[in-house]
Amino acid sequence: MPLLSVQNLRVELKTRDGIFPVIDDVSFTLDEGENLAIVGESGCGKSMTALALMGLVPHPVGRVAAGQILFADEDLAQANETRMRSLRGNEISMIFQEPMTSLNPVYTVGEQIAEVLRRHQGLGDKAAWAQAVDLLDAVGIPNARTRAEAYPHQMSGGQRQRVMIAIALACRPKILIADEPTTALDVTVQAQIFDLLHELREQTGTAMILITHDMGVVAEMAERMIVMYAGRRVEDGPVADVIATPRHPYTRGLISCVPHLTETLTDERPQLTEIPGIVPSLKTFGQDNCLFAERCAHASDQCQSGRPQDVMMGTQRVACWHAETIA
C-alpha cells in the first residue's frame, strides 16, 4: 500500500474572471522511502500541489474542490485544521525555494529548530536545544554548538538551506516535500545540498516529493517522475524511462531544452531548442481539450476538441491523443 495516494485532486482558484482549476484531476501515489519528482514550467501547478498536500492552499482564494489525499488511510483533503497542524512539520514537512527568506530573522537558528521539537515531540527547553545542535551537526553546519546561536542573516544561503532541512527533518517526517530547494543557490552548493538530502533520506527512510523544473536534478535524485502541464498530469513513469523515451510532446520539449556538455568546448553543439509559446493563462485551465495543443507540433483537430485520455505505454502513462503515432 502506498504511503500517500492522491486521487483525482482538483484545486480551484477564484479570480476576477471566474473559478479555474489550477490543479485539474491529478492522481499519483508515493511509496514509503520513494523519491518522486514533479516537473513542469512555472505556473503548471507544481507548487500548488505541494501546498494542497500540506493543507495550505491559500484561503479564501483557493480551495480543494474534489479528490482525495490519502495519507495512512486518512483523507487530508477533509482533515480539520487542528489535525493538519499536528501533521505539518511532524509527519509531512516542506522545504522552500528561498532559503534567504524562509527563516525568521528575529530568532536564532537553534531556537527555530528547537521550537519544532518542542511543539511536536513535547521536548523540554534543554532537550530540544541539545537536539537542535545535533541536527545542525547532522546537516553539516560546522561548530554546530556556537552556530546554533547565530541569526539567519549571519549565515550564507547554503547554510540557511541546511538549517531549513534540519527544521524539516527534525521530527523524522514520513514525507518531505522539497519545492525547488536549490533554485536560489550556487551550482556548487546545489550539489552539496542534494548530497545531504540523499544521505539524510538514506538514514531516515523519508519519502520525498521533489518539485523542480531542472531535468538534471530529476535524473540525479528521483526514481519516478510526474510531468505536469497547465494543472494536469501529462506523463508519469520511472525517471530513466521517461528521460530515455519521453512520450508526451511536452516532456520531449522539456528534455530537449536541457543543454548538453560536450567533451571539448570547441566541439560543435546542437542549437538549444525551446518549446514555443508560454503556459496558457489560468482562464483556459479546465477546458475540455488538450491545453498543450497550441504549442504542439503534432496538434490536430482532435486535440482541440477533446481532452486526451491516459494511455499506458510500457511503464509510462501519457495523456496525449497522438502518443502512439508520434512515438
Q: Which is nearer to other proteins, 133 or 318 (CB)?
A: 133
Cα–Cα distance between 38 and 226 in angstroms, integer?
A: 5
Smallest CA-to-CA distance from 180 within 152, 213, 155 is with 213
Q: What angle do CA 257, 278, 301 make, to 5 degrees?
A: 100
Q: Which is nearer to other proteins, 71 or 250 (CB)?
A: 71
Considering only the stretches 99-107, 205-213, 235-243, 297-305, report the one whose residues sit in contact with other proteins under the rule CB under 8 A.
99-107
Residue 319's SS3 state is strand
Q: Any contact of residue 96 with other proteins (CB under 8 A)?
A: yes
Q: Any contact of residue 90 with other proteins (CB under 8 A)?
A: yes
Cα–Cα distance between 164 and 167 in angstroms, integer?
A: 5
Smallest CA-to-CA distance from 158 within 99, 211, 102 is with 99
Q: Any contact of residue 219 with other proteins (CB under 8 A)?
A: no
Q: Which is nearer to other proteins, 156 or 302 (CB)?
A: 156
Do β-strands 4-15 and 62-71 pair in parallel, antiparallel, or remain unpaired?
antiparallel
Considering only the stretches 5-13, 81-89, 200-208, 286-294, report the one whose residues sit in contact with other proteins under the rule CB under 8 A.
81-89
Cα–Cα distance between 209 and 256 in angstroms, integer?
A: 23
Q: Nearest distance from residue 94's CB to other proteins, in Å? A: 4
Q: Any contact of residue 120 with other proteins (CB under 8 A)?
A: yes
Give the helix/strand (H/E) hosting 246.
none
Q: Determine how many CB atoms are found less than 10 A away from the CB of residue 148.
A: 25
Cα–Cα distance between 134 and 148 in angstroms, integer?
A: 10
Q: Nearest distance from residue 54's CB to other proteins, in Å? A: 5
Q: Which is nearer to other proteins, 154 or 305 (CB)?
A: 154
Considering only residues 18 to 77 of the shown chain, the ones binding other proteins according to CB under 8 A are 54, 56, 60
List beta partners, residue 316.
313
Q: Which is nearer to other proteins, 64 or 242 (CB)?
A: 64
DSSP 294: G
Sign of CA dihedral 86, 47, 176, 103: negative
Q: Any contact of residue 163 with other proteins (CB under 8 A)?
A: no
Considering only the stretches 30-38, 88-96, 216-224, 234-242, report the one whose residues sit in contact with other proteins under the rule CB under 8 A.
88-96
Please give the single-letter amino acid code of residue 14.
Answer: K
The grid coordinates listed for 254 are 522539456
Q: Which is nearer to other proteins, 98 or 310 (CB)?
A: 98
Cα–Cα distance between 277 and 286 in angstroms, integer?
A: 19
* Chain position carrying cell 545540498: 193
Q: Which is nearer to other proteins, 110 or 253 (CB)?
A: 110
Beta carbons of 71 and 91 less than 8 angstroms apart: yes
Q: Which is nearer to other proteins, 146 or 304 (CB)?
A: 146
Q: Any contact of residue 192 with other proteins (CB under 8 A)?
A: yes
Number of chain residues interacting with other proteins (CB under 8 A): 50
Q: Which is nearer to other proteins, 142 or 270 (CB)?
A: 142
Q: Any contact of residue 15 with other proteins (CB under 8 A)?
A: no
Q: Nearest distance from residue 169's CB to other proteins, in Å? A: 11
Smallest CA-to-CA distance from 297 within 276, 323, 272, 321 is with 276
Q: Any contact of residue 262 with other proteins (CB under 8 A)?
A: no
**Site for other proteins, rule CB under 8 A:** 54, 56, 60, 85-90, 93-94, 96-98, 101-108, 115-116, 119-120, 140-143, 146-147, 149-151, 153-159, 162, 164, 167-168, 186, 188-189, 192
